[in-house]
Chains A and B, each alone.
Chain A
Amino acid sequence: MARKVSDTRRWTFTILAWGVALAIFFPILWTILTSFKSEADAIASPPKFLFFNWTLENYAEVQSRSPYFRHFLNSVIISVGSTLLGLLFAIPAAWSMAFQPAKRTKDLLMWMLSTKMMPAAGVLIPMYLLFRSSGLLDTRIGITVVLMLINLPIITWMLYTYFREIPGEILEAARMDGASLGKEILYVLTPMAVPGIASTLLLNVILAWNEAFWTLNLTTSKAAPLTTFIASYSSPEGLFYAKLSAASTMAIAPILILGWFSQKQLVRGLTFGAVK
């Protein structure tokens, strides 16, 4: 039973919430706006908010100066590739942990999570040297595998929590109905698990897209995803605000849109089902 809320109260909270939300969102908004300005307008004082000569020249310039689309493609390949590869390993593991739990399953899951706690700094040097000596430095396959390993615990955990919500009795019913393990997975488990797998995929693509330790250390140009590409604007191009903004906008736009779609699953995904 919803209670009647006084108008003053409602308006106060509405204005307050919108104010805070806009303040938090402002840096992103400002970046997007600046990407459409000329360099002169971008550093004009006082700043110009909406009334300036809108232009697309920065976007053209970013692409011509460095092959933006190659980096974009790298980002897509690396983030999607590492997630799919991770799912390949995680789906069977999560299936068996969810439906055939052993005494140590809980410990195993905790241990998997604890590997996420290992600081990257602890393994950076050997990974770098291994990559250098085996020619994997600055290759897509190399960075894809590393990101897969990093996110494997999270992928497994997320799938585990989704699978666990599928009642075991349904799989038993399928078995009674004469389904073999293959058919059980194809006709019953997979259709029921698709939403869970999809949100796992989405979230891990986001995490991998934004990963900025291994990508910065193990890629330089050929295989560099957008994280590395943007870091190259650190100086001196960073002082060209309009171009920096255009490059940034292009780097964040796809994932921002994906992220908005997945915000519901984000919560339960990233909290391992502990918060729904």
Chain B
Amino acid sequence: MATRHQKTLARFMVAPSVLLLLGWMIVPLAMTLWFSFQSYNLLSPGMEQFIGWTNYKYFLSDPAFWQAMTNTLLIVIGVLVITVGGGILLALLLDQPIMGQGVVRILMIAPFFIMPTVSALVWKNMFMNPVNGLFAWVAKAVGAQPVDFLAQYPLMSIIGIVAWQWLPFATLILLTALQSLDSEQMEAAEMDGASAWAKFTHLVLPHLSRAITVVILIETIFLLSVFAEILVTTNGGPGYASTNLTYLVYSQALLQYDVGGASAGGIIAVILANIVAIFLMRMIGKTLE
């Protein structure tokens, strides 16, 4: 709704951002695609040649790839389940009349602001370390054998660390949504004789659905490419036990210098992300209207 002059101006003002993002998407992606059909190793420069689908065949037949794929999905799903489930419980708890709610909120949100390298290192050394870590001390104090978390349960440990970082985020958003629930609605339900559980499933959960969708969307964006936590704690190991797709591509490219193979992995990661993205965009397209 406006005059023609303003519309022209408006197009002109959107253009720089769009062009930048377009460039940022297309140029490197095209290069990755190109490299993925090349035999290209940084250790043997000048030997590049077109090798068709070989990189993909190699990558897809590598058991490490399937493990990385599984790990990627396990991390996303695991963290989502913990944070959304835990987030709902914590949001319900914080919505109760408690004393010092402001301070409680501040304490709970804190992990979200901790940089991934710090939280990974702190958990790895000061908590999960089998000799000096706090968990080891607790185990010994109750007479149990200390567990070497990162060696024995590397993926679960990483999921735990990442979930600790994202739980506050989910809690905060769900709490905000919860507080916008119309109290008259709840009172009406009470007048209608609804039990606490019925109120939760029929009023609270539907009211939270939009917020839950948003939490899933945003977390998925970040969780698909968990990297620093793996790099700092396990280096993807032992073996490939805690390698996700992002880390696999990184190690293929920058540790083994196999640009061609890594590029094929990158393209596969893009395809995977797109499949997930289509689902998610459908989902938020509906709820954000």
Partner-B contacts on A (CB < 8 A): 5, 9-10, 13-14, 16-18, 20-22, 24-25, 27-28, 30-31, 34, 43, 45-47, 89-90, 92-93, 95-97, 99-100, 102, 108, 110, 112-130, 149, 152-153, 156, 168, 181, 206, 209-210, 212-213, 216-217, 226-228, 230-231, 233-234, 238-239, 241, 244-245, 248, 251-252, 255-256, 258-260, 263, 266-268, 270-272, 274-276
Query: When the two chains form their complex, are residues A216 and B263 in contact, meaning their CB atoms are under 8 A apart?
Result: no
Q: Which residues of B contact A212 (CB under 8 A)?
A: 115-117, 227-228
A21 to B17, Cβ gap below 8 A? Answer: no
Q: Chain A residue with minimal CB distance to B116?
A: A212
Measured between beta carbons, the chain B residues less than 8 angstroms from A43 are 132
From B27, B104, B126, give the contact of A245 (CB < 8 A): B126
User: Contacts A31-B122, A152-B21 given: A123-B29 contact, CB under 8 Å?
Assistant: yes
21 A–B pairs (Cβ distance < 8 Å), ordered by A: A10-B99, A25-B108, A28-B111, A30-B126, A31-B122, A34-B126, A46-B141, A90-B17, A99-B2, A99-B10, A100-B9, A121-B246, A121-B270, A125-B263, A126-B35, A152-B21, A212-B116, A244-B121, A248-B118, A259-B110, A263-B105
Q: Quick one: which of B88-108 are within 8 Å of A by CB?
A: 90, 93-94, 96-101, 103-108
Is B281 among interface residues, defined by CB-CB distance under 8 A? yes
- Among all A-B residue pairs, the 9 with the closest Cβ atoms: A96-B10, A100-B10, A212-B228, A259-B113, A126-B31, A92-B13, A123-B28, A121-B249, A122-B270
Chain B interface: which size bin? 35 or more
What mask results when residues 249 to 289 of chain B are scored 1 for a CB within 8 Å of chain A, else 0?
A: 11001100001001101110110111011001100110110
Do the beta carbons of A115 and B126 come within 8 Å of each other?
A: no
Apart from A25-B110, A121-B245, what 17 extra A-B contacts exist at CB < 8 Å?
A17-B96, A24-B164, A27-B126, A47-B137, A120-B225, A121-B265, A125-B32, A125-B253, A128-B254, A129-B31, A152-B17, A153-B21, A216-B231, A227-B117, A227-B228, A231-B228, A263-B105
Contacts of A241 in B (CB 8 A): 125-126, 132
- Asked whether B116 lies within 8 Å of A210 as measured between CB atoms, the reply is yes
Whole-angstrom CA separation of A271 from B211 in the bound complex: 8
Residues A231 and B117 in contact in the complex (CB < 8 Å), given A100-B10, A212-B227, A275-B173: yes
- State whether A27 and B164 are in contact (beta carbons under 8 Å apart), knowing that A14-B99, A18-B100 are contacts in the complex: yes
List chain A residues, Cβ under 8 A from B137: 45-47
Q: Which residues of A contact B218 (CB under 8 A)?
A: 270-271
Q: Is B201 an interface residue (CB 8 A)?
A: no
Contacts of B116 in A (CB 8 A): 210, 212, 227
Chain B 150-193 near chain A by CB (<8 Å), digits 1 or 0:
00000000000000100111001100110010000000000000
Q: Is the CB of B16 within 8 A of A89?
A: yes
**B173 partner residues in chain A, CB cutoff 8 A:** 267, 270-271, 275
Q: Which residues of B contact A21 (CB under 8 A)?
A: 103-104, 107-108
A117 touches B277 (CB 8 A): yes
Tell me whether A248 and B122 are in contact (CB under 8 A): yes
